[in-house]
Amino acid sequence: MRDLRDRVICIVGASSGIGRATALACAQAGMNVAVAARRIDLLESLAREIESHGRVALPVACDVQFDADVSALIERCLEHFGRLDAVLANSGYGHQGCVVDLTDESLRRIFEVNFFGTVRVAREAVRAFRASGRGHLMITSSCLSRFTLPYFGAYSATKAAQTQVARSLRLELQREGIDVSVIHPITTMTEFHDASADVSGIRRRGVPRHAPRLFVQPPERVARAIVRCLRRPRAEVWTSHITRLVAGAMVAFPRFHDFCLRKELALQAAYLDVESISGKAEVAAEGAAG
């Protein structure tokens, strides 16, 4: 068990949802926190909450689509705190629709934010960790990195890419004293779903009605799991053991995957109003969720 008091974590994608909840949970655990995202007003409000717990906070405007932003973020963390113990790459957004109906621009954008944005954060974080000889890189992926839902093909592809990179990095960096963990949330009650609806051109808002309550969680549940992983690093963090078992079965038995999701196909098509959403991906949203 690692003592987290006075350690420093940088959370990228901290303005809402899982990132915001994790920043507060880390502060309550005694950590000092750098919070980064595009919406600086929300970060400044979050920083004040962190400081109310007696910890030091650093809000930094950052867009993971730009190398310079990510590089400057890590530099500011080191300058402000004098150390960097952990980084959570949490920026991302969702898009729903049949992959072949999406434009090249929309597909490139979701990979640019979700995948390449994660790689940018990882690259700069590892550079800092190598200089100090220690560190913990955490990547927010999704349970949909293991299986996919109908019309979530593009999103699931980015999450699968994140997961495979994290697994590879864990083996490649462990001899350098650097831990790597990947987080697999299930459906989480955040603004992620509204942002995904906006991107996808969907009229409905809120957590999808067809999502069973058993597989819906508050962001604080994910935050607590992340703090536990910071204390005792492990390769993967799942917030639903049932989902983990089902995901494994779906990977092992593709026909089981199709059987489980046959009804989901009709529900998703009705929820999305498929004919009205093809190719509508214009806005990137922060905060990943399952």
Q: Which among 93, 151, 155, 271 is annotated as catalytic? A: 155
Nearest partner of 95 among 108, 79, 81, judged by Cα: 108
- Alpha carbon distance 179, 171 (integer Å): 9
Going across the sheet that includes 8-12, the strands are 57-61, 32-37, 8-12, 86-89, 135-140, 178-184, 236-238
Phi, psi of 183 (to 5 degrees): -105, 135
Can you list the alpha helix ranges (DSSP code H) found in 186-240? 192-200, 219-231
- Alpha carbon distance 112, 158 (integer Å): 9
Length of the chain in terms of residues written: 290
**Please, how many CA atoms are within 13 Å of residue 171, restricted to the half-sphere of its CB?**
5
Instruction: Output 262-269 pairs: Cβ under 8 A, ≥24 positions apart.
Output: 264/149, 264/150, 264/210, 265/150, 267/210, 268/96, 268/149, 268/150, 268/151, 268/210, 269/150, 269/151
* The two three-digit tokens of residue 242, written as one number: 């049932």
- Alpha carbon distance 83, 34 (integer Å): 11
* The two three-digit tokens of residue 233, written as one number: 């690093």
Q: Is 271 a catalytic residue?
A: no
- 3-state DSSP call for residue 222? helix
Phi, psi of 174 (to 5 degrees): -65, -30
Q: What are the catalytic residues?
A: 155
